[in-house]
Chains A and B, each alone.
Chain A
């Protein structure tokens, strides 16, 4: 029980840090303006190497987009921009 409390306290601490850092509007704007290419370069490298756009067709990138949104727990906004970029760069 103690451990559950500890974990929840830690989770709350994480959430608190998140909220504090979100109050920085400059960062928020930078994040919102990121292009698909930028998001691809920063995110699709976190677990495996960065996949090259010509590896798949437009339709395949859509399937992979949904798969990675789930597997990598990425936001729908990020995935939409990344898939659009991959579909133009392939």
Chain B
């Protein structure tokens, strides 16, 4: 563990020394970037209150550029989880510019399934301290995978279009043999292909206004998810997402209006899973309509044209987010979240966020018996920095 830390620190120093000598740049360019955050989280649930300092996380990004067409990019994630240091490889991919309109990426990359995970999740970019519902742990949509992708963009008159097509190993179906409560869920952190079937995905984005303030996007991601040779071999999943982004400084309201939204739907074909209490070889099986949905819409406003610097750096945010997982499954839930935020931007890449969230949830894998709505509130005070 210590060796990894020393290596990372060594790479940092190397990066800085290269930067210091860049008066005569060579063809090799190396940059260390990344982000980190720290904060205080407060949760109030029917079970009690919990207040804790958080943030022992550090995400360095390394960019290696060779010539004008080739780059290797990777992001590591160091995080303390219950006193243990966890290290993750967020992405590690090669990238080559084929021509004006096309580039190819291979390796582990963030998937352009909608925009949140690829473009908006880093702590210094995300306007709020949490991800919208449906993303991240136990989420219904993917963040990254291993494969190959072609992507690019092109002007069409005064407007722009961007596109991406990719093939990956794909997620794996949880058949209930390990965690019976999660039968029918997809595991997106599955980087070994469990079948020979590859997932195929694509996103198309269109910026219809010539000032590029508006972008509309549509994505899909589909393939087989069951283990090869198992009864689930032919189970397929079809995921799609629609995303929306509008960002513009508007004079009459003296500031920047930022609206972001994404809708995700995950559909897994019908399959029969063992009933929880029974032994695995029991004949008792159940099925359900395996359809999950999640969406969020976020609006933020920053009075960037105000006279006072203090005011200019303030930002107010509101986000509504909802997640619905299949009724009839052991993990069926209906959760909604309303979050308000007040941010203070110290610089373009450093922010102090104060967020308050109201969460209503029904069901879920950890829920008590019987349908009852649980209300919880949380307060987050985070300080995030892009390095």
- By a beta-carbon cutoff of 8 Å, the part of chain A in contact with chain B is 3-4, 7, 10-11, 14-15, 17-19, 21-25, 27-28, 30-31, 42-43, 45-52, 55, 57-60, 62-64, 66-67, 69-77
Are B349 and A59 in touch, CB under 8 angstroms?
no
Question: Are B25 and A48 touching (Cβ within 8 A)?
Answer: no
Asked if B245 lies at the interface with its beta carbon under 8 angstroms from chain A, I say yes
**B residues 114-134 touching A (CB-CB < 8 Å):** 118-120, 124-125
Chain A residue with Cβ nearest B151: A73
State the CA gap A47–B73 with chains docked (Å).
Answer: 19
The docked-state distance in angstroms from the alpha carbon of A31 to that of B101 is 17
Given contacts A48-B124, A70-B71, A73-B162, contact A4 B220 (CB under 8 A): yes
Distance, CA A46 to CA B160, complexed state (A)? 14
- Whether B238 lies near A3 (C-beta < 8 A) is yes
Known: A4-B220, A77-B155. 7 other contacts (CB 8 A): A24-B158, A27-B159, A48-B124, A62-B65, A63-B63, A63-B71, A74-B162
The reply to whether the CB of B152 lies closer than 8 angstroms to some CB of chain A is yes
Q: Given the known inter-chain contacts A11-B204, A48-B125, A66-B71, please indicate yes or no for A75 contacting B100, CB distance below 8 A.
A: yes
By a CB distance below 8 angstroms, the chain A residues around B65 are: 62-63, 66
Q: In the complex where A17-B206, A60-B19 touch, is A10 in contact with B153 (Cβ < 8 A)?
A: no
Closest-CB distance, A56 to chain B (whole angstroms): 9
A71 to B212: give the CA distance in the assembly, Å.
Answer: 16
Select which of B71, B161, B213, B222 is within 8 A of A4 by beta carbon: B222
Task: Give the complex CA separation of A52 and B347 in angstroms.
Answer: 9
- A sample of 14 cross-chain residue pairs with beta-carbon separation below 8 angstroms, ordered by A number, consists of A3-B240, A17-B208, A18-B156, A18-B157, A18-B161, A31-B155, A45-B249, A48-B125, A57-B19, A59-B19, A66-B65, A74-B162, A76-B97, A76-B100
Chain A residues within an 8 Å CB radius of B222: 4
Contacts of A14 in B (CB 8 A): 161, 204, 206, 216, 218
Chain A residue with minimal CB distance to B125?
A: A48
Per the 8 Å Cβ criterion, residues 76-126 of B in contact with A are 95, 97, 100-101, 103, 105, 112, 118-120, 124-125
How far is B151's CA from A75's CA once the two chains are assembled, in angstroms? Answer: 11
> Which B23-58 residues sit within 8 Å CB-CB of chain A?
25, 29, 31
Q: Is B247 an interface residue (CB 8 A)?
A: yes
Q: Given A3-B220, A67-B71, A70-B151, does the pair A28, B158 have CB atoms closer than 8 Å? A: yes
Q: A7-B240, A49-B345 are in contact. Are A71 and B118 (CB under 8 A)?
A: yes
Chain A residues within an 8 Å CB radius of B156: 18-19, 21-22
Tell which of B158, B164, B238, B267 touches A27, judged by Cβ atoms closer than 8 Å. B158
Question: Closest A-chain residue to B246, C-beta based?
Answer: A46
Interface string of B201-232 (1 = CB under 8 A from A): 00011101011110110101010000000000
Bound complex: CA A57 to CA B211 (Å): 27
List B contacts of A71 (CB < 8 A): 118-119
Q: Does B348 contact A (CB under 8 A)?
A: yes
The distance in angstroms between the C-alpha atoms of A69 and B70, with both chains bound, is 12
Closest to A73 in B: B162
Chain B residue at minimal CB-CB distance from A45: B247
**Residue of chain A at shortest CB distance from B265:** A3
User: Are A70 and B103 also in contact (CB < 8 A) when A22-B156, A22-B159 are?
Assistant: yes
Least CB distance from A4 to B in Å reads 7
Residue of B nearest to A14 (CB): B206
A2 and B372 CA atoms in complex are apart in Å by 36
Query: Which residues of A are found within 8 Å of B158, using beta-carbon distances?
Result: 21-22, 24, 27-28, 30-31
